[in-house]
Each structure stands twice: as structure tokens, then as C-alpha cells.
Chain A
Amino acid sequence: VIRRREFLAGALAGTAALAACGRRQVELPPDRRPAASRVAVLPAASYDADLTDLLRRGLAFFAPEVRGRRVVLKPNYVEFDPQGAINTHPKLVEAAVLAFLGLGAAEVVVAEGAGHRRDTEYLLGASGLGDVLRERRVRFVDLNLDRVAEVLLPTSFTSLGRLWLPRTVLDADLFVSMPKLKMHHWAGVTLSMKNLFGIVPGAIYGWPKNVLHQAGIPGSIVDINAALAMPRLAIVDGIVGMEGNGPIQGEARAAGVVVIGDDFAAVDATGARLMGADSERVEHLRWAGGFLGNVAEERIVQLAESPARLRQDFALPPGFATLRA
């Protein structure tokens, strides 16, 4: 039986993802979950707030060891729409640059491999990120064109087996996923884990990275996340998120929140709760919650604000009515 969303995801490719259809019987990998994960939920009314200070306060919970080290920030610039809320706001990226430099990082690099557009000059210019990079003298690495290394995927939620991944990410002393808080019409939600599709190099896999759609989106998300070994952190831009038909064509929704944590599954489960979605019903989170990170509410220690207090019920993507918590 073809599962509906996987058919659609394959159709996004212009094909049906028969190879990804049906439930793959996968052996659950060794349990890597910590006993509990901490996730900070920080209110932020607008992009004009002192975001550097906010991030300093949020990062203090996690005390990342960055002194003298190289930090790689991976925001979401999959696409740009002047009327939309697709991207991690450049002001939050700028605040993260300043916050990590303030913590003594030797270098902060901004890296992205856009999923739809090949024209990075356009993306950086139109989105305003280019201005921030220039003003702060921050190096940008186009992950679509970066040097790569072949990585064997330790899990098999897809049949991918291996992927070429960019050296800039693999060699990072601290890798920071900086997604937007969004609904996603194929994956349910897109947060710090799904944001890693953007590290898969377009020069090899294309624009879009349709190999991942063909292999199955939830499984690809989990396989990629499980393959990365470097220290990591997530900073989610939920100041303005996207509801409905995300990740590109949904509506902007002011949620007034920034989420920080070092367990991507726990951060994304918290993000889902903030959007009024049941994280256990998001396929990739349910899978990740079985071995990779904490998704169950009782295993997440919420710092700063309670997600329940800041929860806003985002409009669900088409076909995801059962996601509502």
C-alpha cells in the first residue's frame, strides 16, 4: 500500500516513491538518548529585540565549549520569497555570530546549501543575509559546492547507505542548526533535524535534493542526523514562523520564541509542541525518539519558559490533520 505522504513526496520529484513505500523493517540502532535533555524556550517579541543578549542568556544554559574553536552556523535558506517567512532571519544569524564570537570562538562560519535555487548570489542578496555577512566579515560557505567526504550511514531508515557530505560541516568544532519554526507539507514539521537536508551537496544530489525525497523524507532525516558525530546545538527561529503549507508557501505566524538545545530531537519535539503539534505523531521524530534523542515530554527538561504557556496552534499542513496535539 502506498502511504499517502510518501506518494506525494515522490510526486514532488515528478515520480512516485515506490521504493520508499511500505514500512521498512529496520532494526533499532543502539540507544544514544541521554537520560534527559534540556531545551530552553526564550520569548522574543520581534527581530528588533536585543537578540544577541537573548542568545547569550540562552547559550549560558548549555555552556558550549567554543573558545578558540570554529563554529558553523547552518540557517535555513532553502529558497527566498520576499512575501514569505521561509528563512531564518538574518538578524538572528547575526546575533548568533556575535554571541559565539563573544564566547571566544576563533571563527564563526555561516554555511548553507540551498535546496531549490542554485543562484546563491541572488539568495544572499535578496534575503539580506549577504549584508550581514559583509558587515560582520563572516565567511559564507556554499555547502552545495563544498569539498565532500563519503559518510557511511549508521542507520537504515532508508536504503541510502552512504552520502557525500560537506567537509565544512563534518569538521566543525560546533555545528549549529538554525532552522525556522515551520510546518512542512511532506514531513509535518521542519526544524533542526529537517534543516540538515541543507547540508547535502547540490552539486552531487541536485536542486532539489530529490534523492532524499525518493528514499523517503522521514527516513532520510533520521539517517542523516544519526550519521553526524560532531558536537552540535540548535537555535530555532520561532520569532516569526510559518504555518499551513510550509516550508515555502505557508503563511507567516508570529510565535515570539527562540528555542535552544543540544539534543535536536528534543528541540524539535519542543518546537512541534509550540506549534500545537503532537511530536509523537511526526514520523521522523517518533523514529528519532526511539534511539537518537528525547522526544517524550517526560524526558525533556524545559528551561526558561514553558512551551505550554507559549503554545500557538499553527494551521496544520494539508493532509496532516491528525498532528494536532
Chain B
Amino acid sequence: VSKVLARLAEALAERRTPDGGFAAVAGGPADSESTALAALVERAIGTGVARDAARWLVERQRGDGAWPFTDAVPEPSWAGAWALLALGAAGADPPALARGGAWLVAREGVRPSRLARALGALTGQRRRIEHDLSLRGWPWHAAAASWTEPTASALLALQRMAPSVAVPGARERIEEGRRLLRDRMCPAGGWNYGNRRVLGEAVPPYPDTTALVLIALQRDADRARLDASFGALERLLEQRASSLALALGALAFELHARDAAPLRARLAARVDAAGPPAETRAVAFALLALAGGAKLLEVPA
């Protein structure tokens, strides 16, 4: 494992940009998600590879509390949830965290009006959509609806912040976000990008997304849903597993007090055989999974 960790750390270092941030792929511009994940890795391992990552994030927080995706794309990004997680773990300035938390609480996906929902119900369209359009989750973009992954990451960030940083409205958003994720669960467990059915046909879950949602739902009391989704995750990982899916799967297992050792072993073997993954996100989650980083994603009771 130490050899694999070294290779992954080396791969992460290759994605570092001259300004101290990290790019999503080698040669790209630094972005908030990759830099936040690198900052979490730094917190977990402390190799110095990403010693400037937290500073990079602090310097780029916008006045409204949000983070841009990159310097070139200044609009508020979904990646702000990961920046909050990373800066929270790094012990950043509480007012900056509170500002970021307030932005996240205010951010919500586009929802249809009551009139539109009523019209949809009248014309029979609602029956073909199935999930609850009234629930507020988090979008990828300000002009989009709520989807699974940004809702999971925002939920995780707000839950991690809750004990130490007071953010008005966070509790309600956390509860509603959980309801949205439960509502979007695929019929046989697990999650995909956010549609459990399209025009009456079930849409299958993805392993990486399922694992991320399970990480966000650590404190969920609905054991039946969680068990069904762990079952789905295990089946998906048996079929075909990427480094990203194995890493997130191992973290989900560990955070739910399940045996993560077999998934960690598979992840290490995969990286050893095929080399580090191309995407920084997968590299970072692999490092977190293999080097005890799960605690940085743990939601306090």
C-alpha cells in the first residue's frame, strides 16, 4: 500500500498548478473542487504536496461566500461545498466558513411553480416523472434543477459544519436535502445522477454516486434504504469498478462501520496494476480511502 500511496501522491503533485491550486486533469487550470480535495488529502496525510491548497481556496472565496470553479469562470460553483469541507477540516477562519455556509444554504435548484406542478398533475405528466419536484436540493448550476451529487456534497458540508459554525437555515436544508435524496433513490437501491425513472422506466444506479450519497447519509435513520443501497453498491462494484468507485465505496463502507478492507485492497491492486487514475478527483479519493482520510468526511452524531 505504501508504494501505491507514493504513486498516488506523485500523481496528485503532477496536477498542482504554479499558484498552489490543483487541476482536474494534468495540464488543466486549478479549480475549486480539485484544490479542495487536495487540501483534504493534505490534512489526512500531511506530505506537503498540497500545503498551499487551503490558502488557494481562502483567496478565491467570493464576497457572497461562494467559490468560482476556476479563475477564468468566476460564477458561483457547486464546488463551493467541497471548498467548505476542506477549509472546515483545515480549521479556516469561522466567519469565512459562516459566509460560505450561508451561501450554500441560500443556493437551491430551480423548481417548477405550484401552477406548473398543478398543470403537470392535471395533464398526467406528473405520473411519468415520479420524483417530488417540490423538494429543494442543490443544483450544479444556478439555472438548473437539483441533482444527486451536488445535493450530497452540500449535505455533507453543512452537516460537517453544524457543530462548530452556526449557519441560519442549515438544519432545514439538511433535512430537506435528505428527503430529496431518499426520494431520488433508484427502485432497487442506489443512486444515479438524479432520475429514478424516466417515462416509467427504471434508471439504474451508479456505484460512485451511490457511494457519495451513502457518505452524505451517514446519520440517516432509514436502515432499509441504506441496506438496499449498500446491496446495490456491492453488486455494482462486483460488475465493474473504477478507481473512483472503489475509493468512494471504501469510504462509504468505513463511514457506515462496514468492512472496507476488501475494497481498499482492490483499489490498491487496481492502482498498482493500471497506475493512478487520470482525474484528480479519483486520485484524491483514492488517497483518502487508503490513508485514513475517512474521518475528514465523518458527520458528527
A interface residues (Cβ-Cβ under 8 A, vs B): 2, 4, 7-8, 10-16, 18, 81, 116-122, 125-126, 142, 145-148, 164, 185, 202-208, 210-211, 214-215, 245, 248-249, 318
Segment among B92-100, B241-249, B259-267 that sits at the interface with chain A? B241-249
- 10 closest pairs, A vs B, by CB? A206-B140, A16-B112, A13-B145, A16-B116, A210-B144, A121-B242, A14-B145, A122-B242, A145-B24, A15-B145
Residue of B whose beta carbon sits closest to that of A141: B25
A-B contacts, 7 listed (Cβ < 8 Å): A11-B125, A14-B129, A16-B112, A147-B29, A147-B72, A205-B144, A210-B140
Q: Is the CB of B242 within 8 A of A18?
A: no
B123 within 8 A of A: yes
The interface residues of chain A lying within 8 Å CB-to-CB of B194 are 14
Q: Which of B131, B150, B192, B242 contacts A14 (CB 8 A)?
A: B131
The interface residues of chain A lying within 8 Å CB-to-CB of B146 are 14
Segment among B170-178, B274-282, B292-300 that sits at the interface with chain A? B274-282
B42 within 8 A of A: no
- Other than A2-B123, A14-B145, A204-B141, give 7 A-B pairs with Cβ distance below 8 A: A15-B109, A16-B117, A122-B244, A125-B240, A207-B149, A215-B143, A249-B199
The interface residues of chain B lying within 8 Å CB-to-CB of A248 are 198, 203
The range of chain B's interface size is 35 or more
Known: A121-B279, A125-B240, A206-B140. A214 touches B145 (CB 8 A): yes
Interface positions, chain B 156-200, Cβ under 8 Å from A, are 192-195, 198-199
The interface residues of chain B lying within 8 Å CB-to-CB of A208 are 147, 193
B73 within 8 A of A: yes
Q: Is the CB of A207 within 8 A of B147?
A: yes
A123 to chain B, nearest CB (A): 9
The interface residues of chain A lying within 8 Å CB-to-CB of B106 are none
A220 to chain B, nearest CB (A): 12
B242 to chain A, nearest CB (A): 4
Q: Is the CB of B245 within 8 A of A16?
A: no
Q: Is the CB of A318 within 8 A of B145?
A: no
A-facing mask of B183-227, CB < 8 A → 1, else 0?
000000000111100110101101111000000000000000000
Assembly CA distance A315 to B143 (angstroms): 33
The interface residues of chain A lying within 8 Å CB-to-CB of B17 are none
Q: Is the CB of B73 within 8 A of A164?
A: yes
B interface residues (Cβ-Cβ under 8 A, vs A): 24-25, 28-29, 31, 33, 69, 72-73, 77-78, 109-113, 116-117, 119-120, 123, 125, 128-129, 131, 133, 139-141, 143-147, 149-150, 192-195, 198-199, 201, 203-204, 206-209, 240-245, 277-279, 281-282
Q: Is the CB of A249 within 8 A of B201?
A: yes
Known: A10-B112, A16-B133, A146-B28. A4 touches B144 (CB 8 A): no
Most buried by A among B131, B139, B144, B194: B144
Q: Is the CB of B147 within 8 A of A206?
A: yes
Known: A16-B133, A146-B28, A147-B28. A210 touches B147 (CB 8 A): yes
The interface residues of chain B lying within 8 Å CB-to-CB of A4 are 123, 125
B248 to chain A, nearest CB (A): 9
The interface residues of chain A lying within 8 Å CB-to-CB of B140 are 202, 205-207, 210
The interface residues of chain A lying within 8 Å CB-to-CB of B241 are 122
Assembly CA distance A15 to B29 (angstroms): 33
Assembly CA distance A14 to B25 (angstroms): 31
A141 to chain B, nearest CB (A): 9
Q: Is the CB of B278 within 8 A of A15?
A: no
Known: A117-B193, A121-B282. A145 touches B25 (CB 8 A): yes
Q: Which of B128, B144, B198 contacts A206 (CB 8 A)?
A: B144
The interface residues of chain B lying within 8 Å CB-to-CB of A148 are 72-73
Q: Is the CB of B143 within 8 A of A122?
A: no
Assembly CA distance A86 to B112 (angstroms): 30
Q: Is the CB of A126 within 8 A of B240?
A: yes
Residue of A whose beta carbon sits closest to that of B282: A121
B184 to chain A, nearest CB (A): 8
Known: A210-B140, A214-B145. A18 touches B113 (CB 8 A): yes
B88 to chain A, nearest CB (A): 23
Q: Which of A118, A125, A206 contacts B141 (CB 8 A)?
A: A206
The interface residues of chain B lying within 8 Å CB-to-CB of A16 are 112-113, 116-117, 119-120, 133
The interface residues of chain A lying within 8 Å CB-to-CB of B25 are 142, 145
Assembly CA distance A121 to B195 (angstroms): 22
Assembly CA distance A119 to B240 (angstroms): 12
Q: Is the CB of A11 within 8 A of B69?
A: no
B17 to chain A, nearest CB (A): 12
A144 to chain B, nearest CB (A): 8
Q: Is the CB of B198 within 8 A of A249?
A: yes
Assembly CA distance A58 to B32 (angstroms): 45
A112 to chain B, nearest CB (A): 13
Assembly CA distance A18 to B279 (angstroms): 36
Assembly CA distance A5 to B180 (angstroms): 24
Q: Is the CB of A206 within 8 A of B110?
A: no
Assembly CA distance A10 to B279 (angstroms): 31
Assembly CA distance A205 to B144 (angstroms): 8
Q: Which of B33, B72, B116, B242 contacts A7 (CB 8 A)?
A: B116
Q: Which of A8, A10, A215 contacts B128 (CB 8 A)?
A: A8
Assembly CA distance A120 to B204 (angstroms): 17
Q: Is the CB of B24 within 8 A of A18?
A: no
